[in-house]
A and B are shown apart, each in its own frame.
Chain A
């Protein structure tokens, strides 16, 4: 049973606009959430994270929002750039294990 879900397999955004990637989870015991970026034939690269005790974390163009009551996580990229085109995975931690979503493929159109 998938505990972390990314319901949008793909997203296209114009350069300079905002990209919003969404993630839902089912286990309220997750204590740490992360976003990774992945290019084909490469390993995921850590992007940004948030502890379950916070609701927002910002790092440059990237902001992660956590809504615990809705069990929802989102990643905002502003402004979007063509180099942001990649697959984005959300992940959640419980104990020593990390659980990953299925990924959203973001295409930023120049």
Chain B
């Protein structure tokens, strides 16, 4: 059963602590994305990756880091430099196909991060 798995569903962080959110997909998608959703706002792009070992910053990358060592995995680390980390984090993936074919993104069920 193909899909995107995000874990954990809920995560709590202490002040000054780094935390890592997991995202795994078995859809054989090339591209993976991390978004942040805050109340009353749309999804804002943090980082995205179109190929293994390569990734690009999105609109709000400050205070976050990512890695893409495997096609299936795109973990997001929320560092202590992120001053307002409380949010709902969504991971997505998509195919790229031939020069960006028209394929939608598929999303995981999200991780809600809160500060203790």
Contacts and interface: CB of A to CB of B under 8 A. Distances in A.
Contacts of B31: 96
Contact of A41 (B41, B107, B110): B110
Interface string B81-116: 000000000101000100010101111111010000
B34 interface: no
A96 B48 CA distance: 8
B45 A97 contact: yes
A4 to B, nearest CB: 7
A42 B90 CA distance: 9
A96 B90 CA distance: 17
Interface string A8-24: 01000000000000000
B107 A45 contact: yes
Interface residues of A, number: 28
Contacts of B8: none
Interface string B13-46: 0000000000000000001010100001111110
B40 A46 contact: no
A100 B102 contact: no
Interface string A25-45: 000000110101000011111
Interface of B: 4, 6, 31, 33, 35, 40-45, 48, 50, 56, 58, 90, 92, 96, 100, 102, 104-110, 112
Q: Which 8 A-B pairs have the closest CB atoms?
A: A43-B107, A100-B42, A46-B104, A100-B43, A102-B42, A43-B109, A44-B107, A32-B102
